[in-house]
Copies of this chain bind each other. A is one copy, B any other.
Amino acid sequence: MRATLIYGAGDVRVEEVPDPKIQHPTDAVVRVLRSCVCGSDLWPYGSMPASEHGGRIGHEFLGVVEDIGSDVSGLKSGDLVVAPFVWSDNTCDFCREGLHTACRHGGLWARDGIDGGQGEAVRVPQAQGTLVKLPVAEDSALLPSLLTLSDVFCTGHHCAVTAGVNPLTTVTVVGDGAVGLSAVLAARRLGAERIILMGRHKDRTDLGLDFGATEVVAERGEEGIERVRELTGGDGTHTVLECVGTLPALEMSLGVVRAGGTVSRVGAPQYGEVPLGFPEFMNNITLTGGVAPARAYIGELLPDVLEGRVEPGRVFDRTVSLDDVPEGYRAMAGREALKVLIQP
């Protein structure tokens, strides 16, 4: 079959790889119907040192079960399923607590001999715990929105949940990428009535307004902080959803959070140290968030997607074939596309 490999910064290729086969009785093989490119894929695409041996990439997909191992129950060939971006057994103590990203028998896609999602098919370890059945047909118009349950909508939801967003909290969302817009949608879904979206790409912030943002702040840095403070009587907002992952974005988040408030981060940190010293201590600022346990949230979010109450799939503004995945990366890295859907 064909799958996507990354060889270094700017060098993504689609190549022939061995067909996935059941290796363990807990495996399944899934034929990919839809995959996509993640903002976090752009970090290695931007800076990975060149390598002679490419590595698999991609961690978001939905598809059709083609084969299952003997220990997998509750799934059968032909089932349409979505895979969260971390695979997990869904039974260990961490999974039972809803932290599937720390599963004692789980792991990441495209690492250590595990397939990536950006290919024609995927061997899924811990298939019974990992995969979630979707009650739709292969030609459903809902596939893009259902695919966001793999990562981006669940990540936005995780950000809002860990920040403690509720109808009484004011919210700032930092970042107008697909995660930021998903966080807007998630915050609105959790009842937030005031959502300030910080972003400077009008087409994206317009979608953010559709998703429930009530104000847009295009300024950044100190100017951006000042603007949000102005909008909130000098106080800042109870919750700040940091959806970028850079230090300036985090600093801006800390600059607009209200005393007693929470900054939640879901953008993979491109920094090692966080400025949380005496002033933040005196203001009782909490920093939370992290990699989203998508598996924990799919059951809760699925009905709203199936019934059309939310349309997180609107973050996809370009669709490419598997052959055109390199072009998809180029377009996303160059900000021509917000988020690229892959239809193998």
Residues in B neighbouring A288, C-beta threshold 8 A: 284, 286-288
Q: Which of the candidate stretches A12-20, A95-103, A181-189, A192-200 sits at the interface with the other chain?
A: A95-103
| Inter-subunit contact B290/A280 (CB<8 Å) | yes
User: Which residue of B has the minimal Cβ distance to A93?
Assistant: B235
| Inter-subunit contact A276/B276 (CB<8 Å) | yes
Say whether, besides A97-B260, A259-B102, A277 and B269 are in contact (CB < 8 Å).
yes
A275 CB-CB contact with B under 8 Å: yes
Residues in B neighbouring A280, C-beta threshold 8 A: 290
Say whether, besides A273-B275, A274-B273, A281-B268, A259 and B99 are in contact (CB < 8 Å).
yes
The one of B102, B269, B273, B291 that contacts A273, using a Cβ cutoff of 8 Å: B273
Say whether, besides A99-B260, A260-B99, A260-B102, A281 and B291 are in contact (CB < 8 Å).
yes
Q: How far, in whole Å, are A101 and B99 apart by their CA atoms in the complex?
A: 33
- Closest chain-B Cβ to A112's Cβ sits at a distance in Å of 15
User: Which residue of B has the minimal Cβ distance to A264?
Assistant: B286
The count of residues in chain A whose C-beta lies closer than 8 Å to any C-beta of chain B is 32
Of A265, A268, A288, chain B has the most CB atoms within 10 Å of the CB of A288
User: Which residue of B has the minimal Cβ distance to A108?
Assistant: B282
A297 CB-CB contact with B under 8 Å: no
- Closest chain-B Cβ to A290's Cβ sits at a distance in Å of 3
Residues in B neighbouring A277, C-beta threshold 8 A: 269, 271-274
A283 CB-CB contact with B under 8 Å: yes
Say whether, besides A99-B259, A259-B99, A275 and B276 are in contact (CB < 8 Å).
no
- Closest chain-B Cβ to A245's Cβ sits at a distance in Å of 9
- Closest chain-B Cβ to A186's Cβ sits at a distance in Å of 17
| Inter-subunit contact A278/B282 (CB<8 Å) | no
Contact with B along A304-321 (1 / 0, CB 8 A): 000000000000000000
A30 CB-CB contact with B under 8 Å: no
Say whether, besides A99-B259, A260-B97, A281 and B290 are in contact (CB < 8 Å).
yes
Say whether, besides A284-B99, A287-B276, A291-B284, A94 and B259 are in contact (CB < 8 Å).
yes
| Inter-subunit contact B284/A286 (CB<8 Å) | no
Residues in B neighbouring A152, C-beta threshold 8 A: none
Contact with B along A5-49 (1 / 0, CB 8 A): 000000000000000000000000000000000000000000000
A285 CB-CB contact with B under 8 Å: yes
A sample of 11 cross-chain residue pairs with beta-carbon separation below 8 angstroms, ordered by A number, consists of: A102-B260, A102-B283, A102-B284, A268-B278, A269-B281, A273-B274, A274-B274, A274-B277, A276-B287, A282-B291, A286-B286
Known: A94-B260, A273-B273, A273-B276. 12 other contacts (CB 8 A): A99-B284, A101-B259, A101-B282, A268-B278, A269-B276, A272-B278, A274-B274, A281-B289, A281-B290, A284-B288, A286-B286, A286-B288
